[in-house]
Structure 1
Amino acid sequence: MATTKPKTANGYDADHTLACERALITLLRGFGTLKHTLRLVGGLVPRYLTPEKPPDVPPHAGTTDVDIVLNLQVLTDDEAYKSLATQLKDRGFTRHVNKEGKASSWRWQRQVSEHEYVLVEFLRDADEKLQGGKVAAVDGEDISALAIKHAGIVHEWFAEKEITAELLDGGGKATETVRFADVIAFLVLKSLAFDDRAENKDAADLVHVMRYAGTLEWIAQQFIDRQKAGQHRDAIAGALDALRRRFCDGEDVEGYERDGPVACASFMHGADADVSELRILEQRNVSGMVTEFLRLVEQGPSIHG
């Protein structure tokens, strides 16, 4: 099972995204008192932040995996941890095995059809003891989590929605409350993710949510309000800096030539020569939108006066 993310939107499909949602609901269904502590991040979140409403809100490209941020304060309790590990196995999740045949402790997979699997990745906040990009065991044995810088913001900055989906293995339909990164948390984490790993999908996800989650003025005001509240200032500052360096004019480089707009346009339109004009137009639109967003944020404290 490959874990490399597709470079263009054509590598994603609605059926697999639905399978990811079914895997998520199946996972939540078995976690009892733990499920309210789990936070969804990553490529499945735009499905809930920007529900498809043609023609105003087009469908999001989708995702190939499910990313869950764990609350380590809860998982330090032995009984809670055992419940998490046991329920993963009871619900049919197994450790992901890489190409070298090594089983992962932070990536788990769930078979959803004869030849199709959904990958579930467990994440945690980085701290002074574990820097971003490192993996550490939750209890030293059966399950681990990948440390992501500022991932812990989602424990405070989240939205929730009741989702009904068909459980895997014919378990019937179930309704669960999904708690996921809110608009600001999503944009912050995606900005930092693109700055770190330069994936086309990260840039495209970021742009999609910035375009369709609300007006640019509203999103900018949310950033301003969070700044005024003094919450997670380092995370916000890091995200705004990443957006400026990756999407905007500077250092004798025009914004549309930056790697952010290029990555987003390449994801949406591919690299073929016959769509080069579409790519350039998208690059200019993306750079212009991010530049205006930053102007609005810097204009604070209230863009509505």
Structure 2
Amino acid sequence: MADIKPRSASGYSSDVTQACEQTLLTMLSAFGNLKDTLRLVGGLVPRYLTPEAHPEVPAHAGTSDVDVVLNLEVLASGDEYATLAEQLKARGFERTPNRDGRPASWRWRRKVDDHLIVVVELLRDAGDLQPGRAVSINGEEVSAMCIKHAGITADWFCEKTVTAHLLDGKGVSTEQIRFADVPAFVILKALAMNQRQEPKDAADLIHVIRYAGTLEEVAELFAARIQSGKHQNAMLDGLTALKLRFCDDEYAQGFEKVGPVAYAQFLGADGDEELIGYQLYAASLVEGLLKLIHEKTTFTLP
């Protein structure tokens, strides 16, 4: 069971986000030659998709954990994975206990200091399996949580050279990080938002859509992915989820829905007027994006 995350932006800090980046780079060495096949998803991605550039692009709220997608086809073709658990343990990682006290082999944690522990979640594409199920990869030592459409990141990703101090004073390391690109990130976050309706998911979605470029440029990124012909079911499911949770329909006005409300609650508001303002903005932004995508591609949602 996942830890309870902060419900508002005030619960996140740049120091914790920096610790997550250090944890990511420390973990990568455990994968050896396979590290290039990993794809970063989740709350650390906006740090790279929308780098802070005041005043145009404010700093993203950050994250408190690290989520990576494993490419099981590549892993199965080599033997490096056989020692992954030992390599993780050698770098100070340990399996994270579930609420029942038993260790979860898909969630590994790393102590950063006396007050901070960062959790790394290992994920895989669900394929024909039930999303939300952890599947063993290497005996009982390592598993990965099945996530619907996570495999799109194998094709739809960006790269960035990242330099950070490794944990335990192991020196400065520079690595090439591969992470979900804008369409992949939005799709996966929309699916997560549809399922668990967390304020952080809504805030991450809106931040990336707003600051990854102009709305026209973001729509062009989606159009290019749609025109590629790849992962069309993922695109349909993700954009349908986005429409359901943020846009007007016969059930409710978009600003009243859980997406805009969660976004506004995450930001925090000084009174109802500001709260409604945030909700209206989020609904309008998503509505505008979906309209532009349709105009550029004739991609139609149910």
With the shorter chain as reference, the TM-score category is over 0.9
Which position in structure 2 is the counterpart of 1:65? Answer: 65
Alignment of 1:116-131 (within 5 A): 116-128=116-128, 130-131=129-130
Task: State whether residues 97 and 103 of structure 1, in contact with CA within 8 Å, keep that contact through their aligned partners in structure 2.
Answer: yes
Distance across 2 between alignment mates of 1:248 and 1:2: 29
Report matched runs for 1:1-305 at 5 Å.
3-77=3-77, 79-128=79-128, 130-269=129-268, 274-301=270-297
Cα contact 1:31–1:83 (8 A) shared by 2:
no
**CA distance in structure 2 between the partners assigned to 1:173 and 1:29 by the alignment:** 13
Residue 14 to residue 47, structure 1, CA distance change in 2 (3 Å): same
* TM-score normalized by the length of structure 1: 0.94
For 1:229 and 1:172, the matched residues in 2 are separated by 42
Provide the aligned C-alpha RMSD in A. 1.5
Alpha-carbon distance in 1 for matches of 2:115, 2:207: 30
The answer as to whether partners of 1:65 and 1:119 remain within 8 angstroms in 2 is: yes
SS in 1 for 2:168: coil
Partners of 2:161 and 2:200 lie apart in 1 by 26
State the secondary structure of the residue aligned to 1:43. helix
TM-score by length of 2: 0.95
Does the CA-based 8 Å contact 2:32-2:80 persist in structure 1? no
**TM-superposition CA deviations, 1:136-179 (whole Å, max 9, x none):** 10133210000000000001111011100000000111101111
Displacement of 1:214:
0.8
- How far apart are 1:86 and its partner, in Å? 2.3
Give distance in 1, aligned partners of 2:34 and 2:5.
29
Following superposition, the deviation at residue 297 of structure 1 comes to 0.7
Residue identity opposite 2:84 in structure 1: L
| Partner-residue secondary structure (3-state), 1:118 | strand
Q: Distance in 2 between matches of 1:140 and 1:90?
A: 18
Task: Tell me the SS of whatever aligns to 2:206.
Answer: helix
Q: 1:163 & 1:222 partners in 2: Cα distance?
A: 24
Per-residue CA deviation, residues 175-214 of structure 1 (Å, 9 max, x unaligned), is: 0111100111101100111011111111100000000011
User: Displaced runs of 4+ in structure 1, greater than 2 A?
Assistant: 83-86
What amino acid sits opposite 1:296 in the alignment? L
- SS where residue 169 of structure 1 aligns? helix
Q: Report if the CA contact (8 A) 2:82-2:138 is conserved.
A: no
Amino acid corresponding to residue 178 of structure 2 in structure 1: R
**Structure 1 residues 79, 244: CA separation in 2 closer, same or farther (over 3 Å shift)?**
same
Give unmatched runs, 5+ long, in structure 2. Answer: none
**Which secondary structure does the structure 2 equivalent of 1:117 belong to?**
strand
Distance across 2 between alignment mates of 1:147 and 1:91: 25
In structure 1, stretches of 5+ residues that fail to align are none
Report the Cα distance in structure 2 between the residues aligned to 1:138 and 1:30, rounded to whole angstroms. Answer: 16
Supply the distance in 1 between the matched residues of 2:230 and 2:78 (Cα, whole angstroms): 31
One-letter code aligned to 2:221: Q
* Whole-angstrom CA distance in 2 between matches of 1:141 and 1:101: 16
Q: Aligned to 1:4, what secondary structure does the other structure show?
A: coil
Q: Which moved more, 1:67-76 or 1:163-172?
A: 67-76
Aligned length: 298
Superposed displacement of residue 115, structure 1:
2.1
Query: In the TM superposition, what is the alpha-carbon distance from 1:218 to its structure 2 partner?
Result: 1.0
Query: 1:294 corresponds to which letter in structure 2?
Result: L
Alpha-carbon distance in 1 for matches of 2:18, 2:64: 10
| Alpha-carbon distance between aligned partners in 2 of 1:78 and 1:240, rounded to the nearest angstrom | 35
Give percent identity, aligned residues only: 54
